[in-house]
Every structure is written in C-alpha cells, then in structure tokens.
Structure 1
Amino acid sequence: MDTQTQFFRDTWAEINLDDLYENVKNIKQHIPDGVKMLAVVKANAYGHGDVQTALTALAAGAHGLAVAFLDEAISLRRASIKAPILVLGATRPKDVEIAAELDISLTVFREDWLVVAEKQLSEGQTLNLHIKCDTGMGRIGVRDEDELKRIEKVIHDRPSFHLEGIFTHYATADELDDEYLEEQLKRFERMLASLASPPEYIHSSNSAATLRKPGTLFNTVRVGIAMYGLTPSLEMKPVLPFPLKQVFSLHSRLIHTKELSAGEKVSYGATYKAEKDEWIGTIPIGYADGWLRKLQGQDVLVNGKRFPIVGRVCMDQSMIRLPGFLEPGTQVTLIGKQDEDVITMDEIAGKLDTINYEIPCIISTRVPRIYIRDGEAIEVSNKLLSPGGSGF
C-alpha cells in the first residue's frame, strides 16, 4: 500500500505483525496444553495499536484479551472483535450495563461495589466477573479469605452476576529471587481453597511468571510485554526460554542537512558547539512525539552507522551529527535495526533511566503506526487524520 498517502510527515513507527505472531506462538508452545492465554492489549497495546495487535494475537492462539479500562474494551468491541475481553482495572458500578450488553468481563474487589452495580443492570442481563485478590501487590484486590467468601456468596446469590474468574498479580515475577513471589503464590492458593467452587478462569501469571515459573500457571495466563518482544526485565534476559522479537521500530528521515563552521551552536540553550566544521542533519521528531529531551546524545542509525543527537531535542525536531553531506530523505532509525546494528527498547530505556515497557507507550499517537505483514504494509493508523480519532 502507498503509506505516504496516509500521513504527511517523515516520521513513523512500524509494527511487525509477523514478529508479534511468532512471539505469541512461541509463548503458546511454552505453556502446557489446556492453559489459556489472555493477550494484554491495554494502553493501546502498549503503544503498538490495539486492534491489529489483538487480531494478530488471537490468530496466533490467544484465547482472549485483557485491558485496563472499560473504554479500551469498548474500543475493541466496536472493531467487531468477538473474543473474551477482561477489564483488569476498576470500573464504575454505574457503567456496568454497557459491559453486560457488550459481553465484557469486569473485575470486582469490593462487596459494596456489587450492591450498587446490581441496580444498574437491566432485567435479563448477566455480568461476568473476575475477583481480584491482593496477595502483595498493594494496588486493588480482596485481601483475606473472609472477604473473598462474602463476595463470592453475593455473586452466586444474584442471578444477574456470573463468577467467571479469579486472579492476582505478582510484584516481583521479573526478579530471579522468588521469595516474595512464593509468598504471594501461597496466599493466592489459600484464597482459592476458601472458595465454595472454583470459577472457569484462574490466573496469576504475567509475562515474567509465564516464561519462567511453571508452578504459577493455573489454567490461564496473562501475557503482555513478552508478546511485544520485550524482556520483562534485564535480569531475566539470560533465562528466557526462547528469543523474543521486538515488534516496534521507530523511523524518520532527514529533512535538512547543513554544514556548520567550528564554534557554531545548535538548538535551545546553545548547549552544543561544533568543535570543527561538521555536518548536521534535522529530523522531524521531538518530545511532543515522545522522543524526550533527555535523549540528547542518544545514537540513531543512518546508513547502518551510529550518529549522536546533538543539541537539545525540540518539541517537533531533533538534530544529529553526520559524517558528511547526506541527501534529505535519507532514512534515520531511532529504534530498530539498520544493516548489522540495532537500537533496542532496552537501550532507549537505559538512556531514560526507566524500563522498556515505558518506551512504546510514550511514543505519542501523532506518530503514525504502519502495520507490516509478510513484509508488506497492510494498514496505517494515524490518529491525527482518522475520523473520530479511531485510528483506522
């Protein structure tokens, strides 16, 4: 397809759906037969794009999807996705009717929420619920067996509710010291034992636990970061059961090149001064795109070689030092591979003193996403031009 008719600036992200598909297939082969996988596509699929990511994960064998908020689930239903969808975070009880109408499963962790939610449902509606247990994460969740049993009883006693699942979340699964994880697991097992009857879905494993802790799998797992080809932590890299393929790459093109004389300066604050005559290139990406000011000095790839960003990153543009004159239009890779070199999400995360999860999430929606399948661009998501902001 002609991607240039879909956006009008030379900066874009590429989402390799073939690599996403392979990551999901490898994860499915790694877990035992019969264990279902929920593909986590919250936060616009960690910045990758929710609909294409969800469709690819489901095609690769994911059983259902998980999101953070009801709005995200509704977006998937509006895209005609029929698979099971679980909202992992809190939903206002006054909004449960639309969840029941669209067959979206919600998370419950308070008895009083159930009392209010029941009154919002129309006659004949059934709301599927998963109980969230706080076994040590400290965010939301039921904290003890007595509270859990009360909530279970309320759900079972109300025909408008169906207890579909129960889950918890590990705080330290991406660390190789398992002492705290084992404490959480034992607490979750005690809570499960207190139930009158187990629900259909029992899940505790995130990506990290799914990849390295088979004793935590129960009958369902939730996989997010690993699906996108990113390791849950640097500590886990040596113990990965199979290679992960980074799905997201970020590119731009030179829009201008110029030769500076020794002593001339670049960008706000004049923080960069040319020590000798040198060539500087400008690319149309800046901190409004999520390419933050702290990335001054970070390398980019041009013709397979590394060159640094010089001067402060601007809102919409950045400057790079070049080996000589290069034609405007020359491709620049900020994240991803060129020839034999690669700039990974982990490298950018290290420069920003954060984790790789954050990097694709902060690349803003004004950067178009080009979806690649079988080596060809199949679709462009451009939030700036799409009617109603749907992205498609």
Structure 2
Amino acid sequence: METQTQFFRDTWAEINLDYLTENIKNIKQHIASDEVEMFAVVKANAYGHGDVQVALTALEAGAHGLAVAFLDEAISLRKGGVQAPILVLGATRAKDVNLASFHNISLTTFSLEWLEEAANELEETSSLRLHIKCDTGMGRIGVRSAEELKKMETFINSSSRLHLEGIFTHYATADELDDTYLDRQLEMFEEMLGVLDERPRYVHSSNSAAALRKSTTHFNAVRVGIAMYGLSPSQEMKGVLPFPLKEVFSLHSRLIYTKELKAGDKISYGATYESSGNEWIGTIPIGYADGWLRKLQGQQVIVDGKRSPIVGRICMDQCMISLPGPLKPGAKVTLIGIEEDEAVSIDEIAEKLETINYEIPCIISTRVPRIYIRNGRPAEVSNKLLSTGGEMKN
C-alpha cells in the first residue's frame, strides 16, 4: 500500500469512500430532481471521517457544494485543493470577512447588526457572498422576524460589495416522525420567504432527515450530513429510510500482547476485573485518549470472528479484551465494523455510551490514522497530527 503518511501503531480507522459515493448517489436519486442541489456537510473534519478526502469524494459523487461550521474549516478545504462552493453555516467574526472574500467562501449572516459591522470591515476591492439564516424554531442563531429579514435584504441589496446568495433555516425535529413542529417551522420559513423582493440563488432548509422523508422541505438545495456517512439521523427514522445506508467509518486494532490468566488474576486500574478461571487476555493499543472512552468497559469487539468483551478499565492508550482462545499478537480486532459473520455498528457504540451516532466518529481522536478505501482497496492514509491530507492515490 502506497501512503502519504506512515503510522507506527496498530490502531486505525477505515473510511470507505466507495460507500460514501453510493450513499450520496442514492440520496440524489431519492430526491429525484436536477433542480435541487446538494451541499455535502463536512464540518468537524467531516464528522471525524476526514474533511478533504470526504469533500473531494462527495463532489465527484454529485454534490454541488460543501457546508462547514466555521471559517477555519472552509479555509482548510481551500488549502486542500477544494474549489467548489463552500458555505459557513455558523457565525463568523465580522473582522474576518476579507479573509472569506479572498478564499471565495460564502458566509452566514443572522442579524442586521452583524451585516453593518461586516460592511464596515469589508475592503473596497472585496466582495462577500451571504446566506441569511432564519431562526424558525431551532433557537440557535438566525433572524426571527420578517421585519428584520426585510431590512437585511434591503441593506445587502444597497451595497455593490454584498451579494445575497442564499437563505436557509434548520429543523429541530426533522428526525422525528411527528411532523407537527417541523410543519410549523416550514410554514414560518415560507412566510419569511414571502417578504423578499426576490428569492436568492439558494433556498435550503433540509438536513439529512428532511431530505430523506419530506420532499416539501427541499426547495432548490439540501444540506446532507449524517446520511451520507451511512448513519440514520435517528433511531426513530430507521424504519422509514427509503434505502439502506452503508456505514462509511470502521475502527480496527491488533493484538500487541496476549497472556493466560489464572483464577484470581486481576486486570487494569482499580483491579475491577478478576478472572474466574484460566482465561486468555489480549491487549490492544487504543484507549480513552483516542476517543475509546472508559464507559466502553464491557463493550464487545470482534476478534477471530467472535465477539469478545473489553475487560477491566480502559486506559489512556490501551485496553484489554477477553480472548476466545490462545491467539497470537498481530491478530486483527474490529471495534466498529463487520468481520466475518459479526458486526459492531456505530449505533451499538452510541447506545453503550448513551449518546447519538453523530458523536461516535467525531470523538475518535485525530491521533487515530484514517485509511481511505477507494475502488475496494486502500488509497491513502491521513493522520491530522502529521498531515493535512491531500489528493487520494489510486
């Protein structure tokens, strides 16, 4: 395997770009309209999958543009060679608007006060593309009244250096099957659209959940995040997904040491695990500093095609598992993913941690290298501690 960055321990995540491509193409086919553009959401290092690699693949698969949370993330994509439209969904400091202009990045505006400050900061030779965020019930950022929205439109249109490129909102309950609150938000958004002199190029409100199950929210653009990574937006939605999703992220390690315990032998900090008889134990080089949290004690992994539990407390850099037999160091261990007839899903890990699936790939730290699978084989290794990534090699 030819790689751009080597890594020197036996723990890694695999990012299957073939699955990412398939998910995106299925989503586009489900939307079934050439008039609806897709923005692939690659914030938070593409939900822990790798920003540049996922962005380039998403664009190849048919995404029109990209969405991130912060200006830093957008600039990282530009430096990685991404030339497609990029929208920053979150707040950007007004004093940084010239940087956004230089990198041809669209920003979100959410108040008249911010607009006035940004206009004062903008250099005479610069121009800025803007999307207005409407708060229809999410309660984070956004203009909350049609009156203020109208003032913002008028202010933008009065300037030759400000360009109203888009307008959007975000749904708080799109991943729930009860549409009462979603419909209320949609109605409010449509009322706000009605006060504009002219609708901008992009009108978007759908996240993954709304894009998959509520066509009335599509307008002419959708923002797809969690679904393109192969994860259901909620447990509630699993039964109504229009097609199967393929998990893009998997996590693996290898046994670095094995030993046979006798009855009464103890394992790890606090000596919380005690062997009840002769038992083979293996050590793998992953711990809570990698995002494999202490609360995962007792969680099963897959080794030698069998499920095996984590025993004792998870350490910062290592943890121990009870083995099905006397395995040798070097044997592969799958913490998330499919191995032979067994599977450990991201949803299973999320349930163990009492959280949502979004959080799991995000918390696997950057010191865990990502290996990118393309055309069924490894294409690149990226480790954020050592490299910012780059073009994939085939």
TM range (shorter): over 0.9
Shift of 1:124: 2.9
Shift of 1:391: 4.1
* Cα distance in 2, alignment partners of residues 332 and 150 from structure 1: 58
SS at 2:236 equivalent: helix
Counterpart in 2 of 1:35?
Answer: 36
Which runs of structure 2 are paired with 1:1-392 in the superposition (5 Å)? Answer: 1-2=1-2, 6-31=6-31, 32-386=33-387, 390-392=388-390
- Flag structure 2 segments of 5+ consecutive residues without an equivalent: none
SS at 2:203 equivalent: strand
SS at 1:234 equivalent: coil
* Cα distance in 1, alignment partners of residues 131 and 185 from structure 2: 18
Q: TM-score, normalised by structure 1?
A: 0.98
* CA separation of 1:3 and 1:264: change in aligned 2, threshold 3 A: farther
* Cα distance in 1, alignment partners of residues 4 and 201 from structure 2: 47
Preserved contact between residue 372 and residue 381 of structure 2 (Cα < 8 Å) = yes
Shift of 1:116: 1.4
Deviations 1:117-146 (A, max 9, x none): 112222232100000000000000000100
Deviations 1:127-178 (A, max 9, x none): 0000000000000000010010011110000111000000000000000000
- Figure out how many residues of one structure are paired with residues of the other and give that number: 389
* Cα distance in 1, alignment partners of residues 237 and 197 from structure 2: 37
**Letter of the structure 2 residue corresponding to residue 266 of structure 1:** I
**Letter of the structure 2 residue corresponding to residue 250 of structure 1:** L
Shift of 1:385: 2.6
* Cα distance in 1, alignment partners of residues 384 and 11 from structure 2: 14
Preserved contact between residue 20 and residue 230 of structure 2 (Cα < 8 Å) = yes
RMSD: 1.0
Deviations 1:164-206 (A, max 9, x none): 0000000000000000000000000000001111000000000
Shift of 1:362: 0.1
* Cα distance in 2, alignment partners of residues 274 and 2 from structure 1: 43
SS at 2:253 equivalent: strand
Preserved contact between residue 109 and residue 131 of structure 2 (Cα < 8 Å) = yes
Shift of 1:383: 2.0
* Cα distance in 2, alignment partners of residues 29 and 8 from structure 1: 41
**Letter of the structure 2 residue corresponding to residue 274 of structure 1:** S
* Cα distance in 1, alignment partners of residues 4 and 141 from structure 2: 45
**Letter of the structure 1 residue corresponding to residue 23 of structure 2:** N
* Cα distance in 1, alignment partners of residues 158 and 41 from structure 2: 31
* Cα distance in 2, alignment partners of residues 354 and 384 from structure 1: 27
* Cα distance in 2, alignment partners of residues 201 and 4 from structure 1: 37
* Cα distance in 2, alignment partners of residues 106 and 352 from structure 1: 35
* CA separation of 1:48 and 1:383: change in aligned 2, threshold 3 A: same
**Letter of the structure 2 residue corresponding to residue 9 of structure 1:** R
* Cα distance in 2, alignment partners of residues 2 and 95 from structure 1: 39
* Cα distance in 2, alignment partners of residues 3 and 339 from structure 1: 27
Shift of 1:375: 1.5
* Cα distance in 2, alignment partners of residues 303 and 281 from structure 1: 12
Deviations 1:48-105 (A, max 9, x none): 0000100000000000000000000000011121100000000000000010111100
Shift of 1:348: 0.2
